Amino acid sequence: MGLRPILARVANSFLTIGVLVGALAFAVSLTPSLIPRSYLIQGVLSGISAALGYGMGVLAYWLWTYLELPPLRGRILKAARIAIVGACIVIAVIFLWKASGWQNSTRTLMGLGPLDTANPFKIGAIACVVFAILLFLARLFRYTAFLFSSWLVRFVPKRMSYVVGGLLAVALFWSVAEGIVFSLTLRILDSSFQELDARVDDDFAPPTAAYKTGSAASLLSWDGLGRQGRRFVSSGPTGEEIGTFFREEARDPIRVYVGMNSAETVDERAKLALEELQRTGAFERSILIVVVPTGTGMIDPGALDTVEYLHRGDTASVAMQYSYLASWLSLLVEPDYGAEAANALFREVYAYWSSLPRDSRPKLYLHGLSLGAMNSELSASLYDIIANPFQGALWSGPPFPSRTWRSITDDRNAGSPQWLPRFRDASIFRFTNQNNALEIPAASWGPIRIVYLQYASDPITFFDAATLYREPDWMKGPRGPDVSEQVRWYPLITMLQLTVDMAIATTSPIGYGHVFAPQHYIDAWLAVTDPPNITAEDVARLKIFFVNRGATPGISG
C-alpha cells in the first residue's frame, strides 16, 4: 500500500465536526490568560485544547446519529468538508498571527519585554504532537471498549454490552493510570524531594550562636532541620545589619524551625518547637510569628526579612515542616496533613502564650504563603481563641480552596471586585495587592488584624472550576492592575488555561502571579503589626533597600 492511500485513510478517519470544534478550541487557547506563556507551554495547551474540542465534536456527532437525525451525504458532505477544513486553516493562521500581541498584552503589564514572535510553527508542531498522542489514547480506549463489548455480547444484550464494555475499559485505564503511572511517578517525586530536603547546602554552615536553632546548644540538630529549615535559620538579617540601616542598636531576630526528621509525630515536633522557643527567649520579644511553610517546607524570605526590619529585630518566628512534596503534590496526596501540623504547632504555642501575663508577653501573629496560608487559616478556631485572641495574620497567595478566604470573598461588600474585596466594616479582614489598599477611609481596625496579600494575576488564588461553564467574577467590571483587558472567557478553554497558569504561576516576575515582592509585604506587615517608631521616611527607604537588594523571591514549593 502506497503513502497516499494511507494518508487518505487517516484523513477520512477524522470527523468533520470534530475537526471544526477542535480547530476553534485550538484557536481560542492562543488568547491570553493570567500568566505569560512560552511557545512550549502554549503548544502543549493548544494540543490539549484541540483534542478536547475534537472529542466534543465527536460527542455531538454521536448524539446526532443516536437521535437518528439525517446526516449530510454525497456532494453536500464533500463540499462541507472542504469549506470547514479551509475555514479551520484560516482561523488557525489568524489566531497564530495574533498570538504574540495577546501574550504581549500580559507581558507589558508585568514589566516584561515584548515578544517579536510567538513562534507559530513551533506552537503548531508541538500542538500536533500532543493532539496525536491524546487521539491515539482515545482510540485505544475505544478499541479496548469494543473488545470487551464484543466478548460480552455473547452473554448479554447488545446495548448492555456497550455499557459494561465501556465501564470495564474505564476501570482498566484507571488502574493503569493510578496504579502504575501515578503511583510510580509519586514514589519517584517523593524520593527526589526527600533527597533534596536532606541535601546539605554548602552555602550554609551550622550556626555557632547559642540562641540559633541547629547550634550545639539547640534542642534540634542541624541535619534534622532539612534543607529548607537550614536555609531559613541561616538566612535573614542580623541585628548589626538592621542597626546599620536604622542607625541605631537592633537585636538579632530569633528563628526556630522544626524539620520532618526532628521527631516522629506532629505533636512531638510541635512540643520541640515550643521548647526551642522557650530556650531561645522568644517569648521575651515584642512579636512572635507562627509560620506555616509551603509543601516543601519553604518560607518566603521576603515575608520574614521585612517584618524583622520593621521591628528592628525584636521578633521571633517559628515554623514546622509537614511535607517534602511541592505544594500541589502535598495538597493532592496528603490534603489534611498540613492543616493537622499547623494546628498542632499553633495549639502548642498558643497554650503557653495564653498562660503568660498579657502585659509582658509578645504579640502573636500568624503567617503563611500559598498552601501555608491555607493551612494557617485552618490552624486556629475562632471558638478557641475568641476570649484571648492572637493579634493578627498575614496570608499571602491563598489557594482557591482556602475556606476562610473563599467565604469572605464570596460574601464581600457589593461593588467591590473579587480580586480586591472589601468585607463588611473592614475591622478584621482587609485585602491588598501591588497598590496598597489597606488604608480605608472611616474604617478602624478591631482587636484582630488579618490581611490577605494577593495579586489579581495569581491563578493559584483565582482558579475556579466553575469557569468550565461560566465567566468568573474577576473578569467582570474593572480588572485588576495586572490582568489584560484582552483576557476573555471561553467555556472549557478558560478553565484549561487557568489550570496551565497554576503550573507556571511562579515563573512570573516578582510582584505578579504567585511571586510576592518584599515592598508589598512591608505594606501588609505595617497594617497587621503596627510597628512602633517607624516613620514614612523609614518605610520609603526600606522599600528602596529591598528593591535594590534584589531579595530572593519566595517561590511556592
CB count in 10 Å sphere of residue 217:
14
Residue 363 pairs with which residues in a beta bridge? Answer: 287
Q: Are 449 and 503 in contact (CB under 8 A)?
A: no
DSSP state for residue 14 in the 8-state scheme: S
What's the CA gap between 547 and 522, in Å, rounded?
12
Using the Cα atoms of residue 539, residue 544, residue 545 and residue 549 in order, give the sign of their dihedral.
Answer: positive
Spatial neighbors of 49 by CB under 8 A, at least 6 apart, are 25, 26, 28, 29, 493, 496
Q: Are 180 and 193 in contact (CB under 8 A)?
A: no
Query: What pLDDT score does 554 carry?
Result: 46
Spatial neighbors of 476 by CB under 8 A, at least 6 apart, are none
Nearest to residue 396, comparing CAs of 443, 455, 350, 447?
Answer: 455
Residue type, 217: A
Residue 450 pairs with which residues in a beta bridge? Answer: 393, 429
Query: What pLDDT score does 85 carry?
Result: 87
Rounded to the nearest 10 degrees, what angle do helices 301-310 and 536-549 cross at? 150
DSSP state for residue 16 in the 8-state scheme: H
Query: What pLDDT score does 553 carry?
Result: 46
b/e map of 437-475 (b: 16 or more CB within 10 Å)? ebeeeeeebeebbbbbbbbbbbbbbbbbeebeeeebbbb
In which order are the strands placed within the sheet that holds 449-453? 254-258, 315-320, 287-292, 363-369, 392-396, 449-453, 429-432
Low-confidence ranges of the chain (pLDDT < 70): 1-4, 6-8, 10-12, 179-203, 328-335, 551-557
Query: What pLDDT score does 202 carry?
Result: 56
Q: Reduced to 3 states, what is the DSSP secondary structure of residue 197?
A: helix
Q: Alpha carbon 441 to chain centroid distance?
A: 32
What's the CA gap between 322 and 537, in Å, rounded?
40
User: Contacts for 434-440 with beta carbons within 8 Å, 24 or more apart?
Assistant: 434/481, 434/482, 434/511, 434/512, 434/517, 434/520, 435/481, 436/520, 436/523, 438/523, 438/524, 438/526, 438/527
What's the CA gap between 322 and 67, in Å, rounded?
54
What's the CA gap between 128 and 134, in Å, rounded?
10
Per the listing, cell 469549506 goes with 83
What's the CA gap between 198 and 266, in Å, rounded?
19
Residue 396 pairs with which residues in a beta bridge? Answer: 369, 453
Nearest to residue 457, comparing CAs of 476, 439, 482?
Answer: 482
Spatial neighbors of 283 by CB under 8 A, at least 6 apart, are 277, 316, 352, 353, 356, 361, 362
- Please name the residue ranges forming H helices in 334-393: 337-354, 371-379, 382-385
Nearest to residue 238, comparing CAs of 312, 317, 319, 318?
Answer: 312
What's the CA gap between 165 and 168, in Å, rounded?
5
Nearest to residue 287, comparing CAs of 519, 532, 551, 451?
Answer: 532
Spatial neighbors of 225 by CB under 8 A, at least 6 apart, are 213, 214, 232, 233, 257, 258, 259, 262
b/e map of 150-181 (b: 16 or more CB within 10 Å)? eebbeeeeeeebbebbbebbeeeeeeeeeeee
Q: Are 470 and 447 in contact (CB under 8 A)?
A: no
Q: Are 212 and 233 in contact (CB under 8 A)?
A: yes
pLDDT (tens digit, 9 = 90+) per residue, 38-68? Answer: 999 999 999 999 999 999 999 998 888 878 7
